[in-house]
């Protein structure tokens, strides 16, 4: 009887240990950070004073250096998407108001959007802050690590508007090239509107 009690006690301890180990598999904890977690990590886009801020990120990266460069690239992609969306909505709305044909509406709007599709058209982007954290994950065989990386990009509203003006200028150039007066007048109005808000 004594041996049976000892055996049951041993089995209970082994079962409890196995269950708690299984429950820990997949659990995560931050083991290292580049500093205090900044507020901007949770804010993808902020307009503040004379600047627009965009947060790029890469989570669960294996290599910190690669993760930081990818976070910066993600921030640039988000900034370009933001500009392209602004250009598309403004040009489409203005062209539609000018009674441009549906075919031309899409084409001229696309000329403006495609102009800004490369990063060399966007001047003045800065990277004032970066942040990373190293996370430990429990696995069946021990632990593994990954990095969450964040990059804060900043562009002045002046440089942002210059990029928009460049896109509308391209739309105007195409309209002149195709001798489309309505599209040219619309592009001119869009350009004037951007310059007036500088």
Name the residue range of residue 99's domain.
26-196
pLDDT-based confidence at 70, cuts 50/70/90? very high
Residue identified by tokens 């500009």 is: 83
- Residue-wise pLDDT for 87-141, tens only, equals 989 888 888 877 777 777 788 888 888 888 876 778 899 999 999 999 999 999 9
Q: How far apart are CA 105 and CA 57, in angstroms?
A: 35
Number of domains in the chain: 1
What are the backbone dihedrals phi and psi of residue 17, each rounded to the nearest 5 degrees, phi first? Answer: -65, -45
Residue 32 clears pLDDT 80, i.e. is over it: yes
Asked if the structure places residue 176 within a domain, the reply is yes
Say what the pLDDT of residue 96 is.
81
Q: What is the mean pLDDT of residues 146-166?
A: 95
pLDDT-based confidence at 22, cuts 50/70/90? low
Asked if the structure places residue 1 within a domain, the reply is no
Asked if the structure places residue 41 within a domain, the reply is yes
Asked if the structure places residue 144 within a domain, the reply is yes
Structure tokens at 102: 């549906």
The dihedral over CA atoms of 166, 170, 175, 178, expressed in degrees to the nearest 10, equals 160
Asked if the structure places residue 72 within a domain, the reply is yes
Asked if the structure places residue 51 within a domain, the reply is yes
């Amino acid at each position: 009887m004594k041996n049976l009690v000892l055996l049951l006690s041993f089995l209970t301890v082994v079962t409890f240990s196995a269950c708690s180990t299984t429950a820990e598999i997949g659990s995560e904890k931050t083991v290292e950070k580049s500093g205090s977690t900044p507020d901007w990590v949770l804010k993808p886009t902020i307009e503040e004073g004379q600047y627009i801020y965009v947060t790029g990120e890469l989570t669960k990266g294996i290599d910190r250096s690669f993760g930081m460069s990818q976070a910066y690239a993600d921030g640039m992609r988000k900034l370009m998407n933001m500009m392209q969306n602004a250009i598309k909505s403004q040009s489409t709305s203005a062209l539609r108001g000018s009674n441009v044909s549906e075919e031309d509406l899409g084409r001229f709007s696309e000329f403006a959007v495609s102009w800004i599709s490369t990063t060399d058209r966007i001047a003045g982007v800065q990277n004032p802050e970066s942040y990373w954290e190293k996370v430990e994950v429990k696995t069946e065989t021990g632990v593994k690590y990954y990095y969450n990386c964040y990059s804060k990009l900043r562009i002045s509203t002046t440089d942002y508007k210059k990029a928009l003006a460049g896109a509308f200028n391209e739309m105007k150039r195409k309209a002149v090239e195709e001798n489309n007066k309505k599209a040219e007048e619309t592009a001119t109005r869009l350009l004037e509107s951007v310059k007036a808000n500088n």
